[in-house]
């Protein structure tokens, strides 16, 4: 690994043209990378179909123990987990689209259409981002105020750029690097005080060459497996198909009993809440795990204990947690936290994506609609979950911080969806208060600490926040400010701080005769439009609300890069949006109220679709109360700020707007604060703090911070 820098430099010297596509390849660097990727699979994997499941279980645990020894001999130091994950600022990275750190691996593991140079698929090609590219930008992220990275799947996959079609959960995909690249990334992040969350695909495994040799009776299979889960039984269904595993199928999971075998779901199956959503294959070629099988639970969990042991990763994000059984969520979450604690990571974090109703989230979160001390006391949950909780009870009760079996946190998709509508003036600000008073919130907050849940306005499978107003940098700033100051850990999706809006610039499309095909895709809802490139050599550089970034838009074959400085123009830290995001996030990190506080609404526009939204974040610590009053104007005209409530009952206490210090309110007694005619500008925000909680102005950040 000592020659990685030379590999990168060599890779700039070579290029070959494949059809109309330019692939950057280093003759020596590419050979070294190929050899390294091949040597990583030097171990002899046990085959569940021939060696037996017990052999696989033994191998999977030995792999964990070997990783522990390897880490100890590496000289690296393990880093404790964050004390309170709700105080973290998360940055999500789509690996292939963030930064191309190693051009030598760009042509590895390509899907056939890309290898053949068919530019009609250019939006869905692999564009070259990798783990080295993330490592190179860690200083940029630290300056922005990021404390946790969430990295989309980087394990070996079927060639799709997004990585969510895993084929081997023990290796980094060769297009993203090698296993050591990930360990070096985690080490470098930890040196900067940044934690790393690994994205784990928990519901399926891919293999393009595997198919059914006996077709499944799709709904019969799913319905009967669902009935068994609710009854706590395990006999299977005669509607299950039979898989014909290819020779390349990942050997340790090569067992019929490890898969549901109910056949491919339709889009409505996948999005719905029927039994097929849990037991059907996600789509054709993504084979759904039988997460009820206890041998599978053991092996799969060990495969991800390996990554904790090997790389010292800090948490897992469970992709498609809606599509697995609740007993598996309990087993995986409890066992992973217990193992992580055993090697010094006492507060390992597990957050799940459950894109469904609040009861589906609640059955997988925290207490899981149950009394963890007496699992027989529960709400509407499957008997299989109750059985699992009784088995797991000694482990989760022994944990100092997570005395429950389920996820530590989930995504609050409802909160994010409503916030988008409010901030873009499609719903009144009252919608956000309604959310915090809703049964949805009750479901989530009764299972675990709501403040741990992740808050978002955009992620990899949502349209960009700025796509709703593609030219307004003010709306981009407003969106980042809401994420920074609202309850729940904020997710900054890569490029949000650069104003990414997913807009194809038709006059910048350079794909020859297939331009009309690309324009048609640009007019649709392809997820690739949510995942534009953040590096100058990328094939799909889309639009931005930031003029300096917007002018770089381009769709076409790779372009050569003359220097590292030119390559990193997408990490621009000088424009208004980046500077605003940085000061908001650093202000959040400095304030107990903004990190830990509960939400209390102070003023919301009830009728109109734009107007004033004000809420306090209040943190009570013993006799000390820390409060921040956040005031936003979502509309296009300035508004006078009315008198409103705060917890401070004093008279004459000055509260300062942390953004500048000279805009103030003054307490009036009886828990009221007045602003003497102060107006808040269109699409802007203020954060008022008691003046004894305000530091001197920080000219570098452009804001006051909290003193507490």
Q: Which residue has the higher pLDDT, 159 or 2?
A: 159
Alpha carbons 539 and 555: distance in angstroms, whole number: 5
Which residue, among 237, 181, 233, has the nearest Cα to 214 in the 3D structure?
Answer: 237
Q: Please, what's the b/e burial string for 44-58 (b: 16 or more CB within 10 A of its CB; e: otherwise)? A: ebbbbeebebeebbe
Average the pLDDT over 494-516 and give the result.
Answer: 97
pLDDT of residue 567: 75
pLDDT of residue 212: 98
Alpha carbons 138 and 651: distance in angstroms, whole number: 46
Predicted confidence (pLDDT) at residue 1 exceeds the cutoff of 80? no
Distance of CA 328 to the CA centre of its chain: 21
pLDDT band at 597 (very low <50, low <70, confident <90, very high): very high
Among residues 290, 311, 338, which one ends one of the domains?
Answer: 290
* CATH number, position 646: 2.60.40.1180
Average the pLDDT over 336-347 and give the result.
Answer: 97
Please state whether beta strands 211-214 and 148-151 pair in parallel, antiparallel, or not at all (unpaired).
unpaired
Please give the model's pTM, rounded to 2 decimal places.
0.94
User: Long-range contacts made by residues 614-619, C-beta under 8 angstroms, separation at least 24?
Assistant: 614/641, 614/644, 615/432, 615/433, 615/486, 616/646, 616/647, 617/485, 617/487, 617/591, 617/593, 618/593, 618/647, 619/592, 619/593, 619/595
Helix (H) or strand (E) holding 188: helix 179-191
Q: Residue 304, exposed/middle/buried by CB under 10 A (0-12, 13-18, 19+)?
A: buried
Which residue, among 107, 150, 148, has the nearest Cα to 127 in the 3D structure?
Answer: 107
Structural domain contains residue 115: no
% of the chain at pLDDT higher than 90: 91
Structural domain contains residue 579: no
Q: What is the pLDDT of residues 284-322, one digit of tens each?
A: 999 999 999 999 999 999 999 999 999 999 999 999 999
Q: Which of 265-269, 563-567, 615-619, 653-657 has the lowest mean pLDDT?
A: 563-567
Structural domain contains residue 81: no
Question: What is the rounded average pLDDT for all residues in the chain?
Answer: 93
- Give 351's strand partners: 317, 409
Q: What is the pLDDT of residues 7-46, one digit of tens each?
A: 333 333 222 223 333 333 333 333 344 444 444 566 899 9
Average the pLDDT over 104-116 and give the result.
Answer: 94
pLDDT of residue 40: 53
Alpha carbons 628 and 640: distance in angstroms, whole number: 19
Structural domain contains residue 301: no
pLDDT band at 507 (very low <50, low <70, confident <90, very high): very high
The overall longest dimension of the chain from CA atoms, in Å, is 79
Please state whether beta strands 651-657 and 684-690 pair in parallel, antiparallel, or not at all (unpaired).
antiparallel
Alpha carbons 518 and 122: distance in angstroms, whole number: 8
Structural domain contains residue 95: no
Which residue, among 64, 58, 46, 60, has the nearest Cα to 255 in the 3D structure?
Answer: 46
Structural domain contains residue 277: yes
pLDDT of residue 44: 92
Alpha carbons 184 and 188: distance in angstroms, whole number: 6
Q: Collapsing DSSP states into helix, strand and coil, what is residue 238? A: coil
Number of helical H runs and strand E runs in the chain: 24, 28
DSSP 8-state code for residue 264: B
Q: Collapsing DSSP states into helix, strand and coil, what is residue 273? A: coil
pLDDT of residue 10: 32
pLDDT of residue 566: 75
Owning domain of residue 660: 598-693
Among residues 290, 322, 340, which one ends one of the domains?
Answer: 290
Distance of CA 210 to the CA centre of its chain: 29
Handedness of CA 101, 107, 113, 116 (dihedral sign): positive
Please state whether beta strands 540-541 and 489-493 pair in parallel, antiparallel, or not at all (unpaired).
unpaired
Which residue, among 499, 484, 462, has the nearest Cα to 705 in the 3D structure?
Answer: 484
Q: Which of 72-76, 332-336, 395-399 has the lowest mean pLDDT?
A: 72-76
Distance of CA 279 to the CA centre of its chain: 24
Structural domain contains residue 169: no
Average the pLDDT over 48-57 and give the result.
Answer: 98
Q: What is the pLDDT of residues 61-104, one digit of tens each?
A: 999 999 999 999 998 999 999 999 999 999 999 999 999 999 99
- State the SS3 of 333-371: HHHHHHHHHHCCCCCCEEEECCCCCHHHHHCCECCCCEC
pLDDT of residue 42: 63
Alpha carbons 490 and 434: distance in angstroms, whole number: 20
pLDDT of residue 559: 87
Among residues 290, 324, 357, which one ends one of the domains?
Answer: 290
Average the pLDDT over 367-385 and give the result.
Answer: 98
DSSP 8-state code for residue 289: B
Locus of tokens 């029927």: 274
Helix (H) or strand (E) holding 667: strand 664-669
Structural domain contains residue 484: no
- Residues sharing a CB contact under 8 Å with residue 323, sequence separation 6 or more, in sequence order: 203, 204, 270, 277, 278, 282, 288
- Residues sharing a CB contact under 8 Å with residue 62, sequence separation 6 or more, in sequence order: none
Q: Domain tally for the chain? A: 2
% of the chain at pLDDT higher than 70: 94
């Amino acid at each position: 690994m000592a020659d990685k820098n030379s590999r990168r430099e060599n890779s700039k010297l070579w290029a070959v043209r494949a059809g109309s596509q330019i692939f950057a390849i280093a003759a020596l660097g590419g050979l070294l990378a190929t050899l390294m990727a091949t040597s990583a699979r030097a171990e002899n994997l046990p085959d569940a179909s021939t060696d037996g499941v017990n052999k696989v279980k033994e191998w999977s645990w030995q792999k964990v123990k070997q990783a522990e020894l390897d880490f100890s001999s590496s000289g690296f130091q393990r880093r404790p987990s964050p004390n309170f994950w709700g105080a973290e600022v998360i940055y999500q990275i789509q690996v292939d689209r963030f930064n191309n750190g190693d051009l030598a691996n760009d042509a590895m593991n390509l899907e056939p259409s890309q290898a053949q140079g068919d530019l009609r698929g250019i939006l869905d090609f692999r564009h070259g981002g990798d783990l080295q590219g993330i490592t190179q930008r860690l200083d940029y992220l630290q300056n922005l105020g990021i404390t946790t990275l969430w990295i989309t799947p980087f394990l070996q996959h079927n060639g799709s750029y997004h990585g969510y079609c895993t084929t081997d959960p023990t290796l980094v995909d060769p297009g993203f690097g090698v296993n050591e690249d990930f360990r070096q990334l985690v080490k470098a992040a930890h040196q900067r005080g940044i934690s790393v969350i690994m994205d784990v695909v928990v519901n399926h495994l891919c293999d393009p060459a595997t198919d059914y040799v006996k077709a499944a009776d799709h709904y019969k299979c799913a319905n009967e497996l669902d009935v068994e889960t609710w009854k706590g039984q395990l006999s299977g269904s005669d509607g299950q198909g039979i898989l014909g595993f290819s020779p390349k199928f990942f050997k340790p999971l090569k067992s019929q009993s490890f898969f549901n075998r109910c056949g491919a779901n339709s889009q409505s199956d996948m999005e719905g809440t029927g039994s097929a959503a849990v037991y059907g294959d996600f789509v054709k070629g993504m084979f759904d795990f039988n997460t009820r099988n206890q041998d599978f639970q053991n092996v799969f969990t060990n495969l991800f204990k390996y990554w904790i042991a090997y790389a010292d990763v800090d948490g897992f994000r469970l992709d498609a947690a809606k599509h697995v059984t609740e007993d598996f969520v309990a087993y995986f979450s409890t066992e992973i936290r217990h193992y992580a604690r055993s090697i010094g990571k006492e507060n390992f974090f597990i957050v799940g994506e459950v894109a469904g109703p609040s009861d589906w989230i609640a059955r997988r979160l925290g207490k899981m609609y149950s009394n963890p001390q007496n699992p027989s006391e529960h709400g509407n949950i499957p008997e299989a979950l109750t059985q699992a909780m009784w088995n797991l009870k000694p482990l989760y009760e022994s944990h100092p911080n997570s005395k429950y079996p389920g996820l530590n946190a989930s995504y609050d998709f409802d909160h994010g969806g409503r916030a988008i509508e409010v901030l873009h003036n499609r719903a009144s600000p009252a919608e956000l208060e309604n959310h915090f008073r809703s049964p949805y919130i009750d479901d989530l907050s009764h299972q675990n600490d709501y403040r741990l849940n992740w808050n978002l306005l955009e992620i990899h499978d949502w349209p960009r926040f700025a796509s709703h107003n593609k030219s307004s940098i003010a709306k981009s700033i407003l969106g980042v400010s809401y994420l920074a100051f609202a309850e729940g850990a904020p997710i900054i999706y890569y490029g949000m701080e650069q104003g990414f809006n997913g807009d194809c610039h038709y006059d910048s499309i350079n794909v020859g005769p297939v331009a009309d095909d690309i324009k048609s895709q640009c007019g649709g809802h392809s997820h690739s439009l949510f995942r534009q490139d953040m590096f100058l050599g990328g094939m799909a550089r889309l639009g931005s609300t930031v003029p300096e970034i917007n002018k770089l838009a381009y769709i076409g074959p790779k372009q050569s890069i003359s220097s590292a400085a030119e390559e990193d123009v997408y990490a621009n830290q000088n424009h208004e949006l980046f500077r605003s995001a940085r000061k908001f996030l650093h202000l959040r990190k400095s304030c107990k109220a903004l990190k830990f506080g509960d939400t209390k609404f102070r003023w919301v526009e009830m009728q109109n679709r734009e107007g004033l939204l004000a809420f306090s974040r209040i943190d009570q610590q013993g006799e000390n109360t820390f409060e921040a009053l956040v005031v936003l104007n979502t509309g296009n005209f300035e508004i006078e700020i009315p008198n409103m409530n705060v917890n401070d009952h004093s008279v004459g206490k000055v509260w300062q707007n942390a953004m500048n210090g000279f805009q103030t309110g003054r307490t009036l007694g009886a828990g009221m604060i007045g602003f003497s005619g102060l107006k808040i500008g269109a699409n802007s925000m203020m954060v008022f703090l008691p003046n004894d909680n305000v530091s001197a102005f920080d000219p570098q950040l452009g804001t006051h911070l909290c003193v507490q």
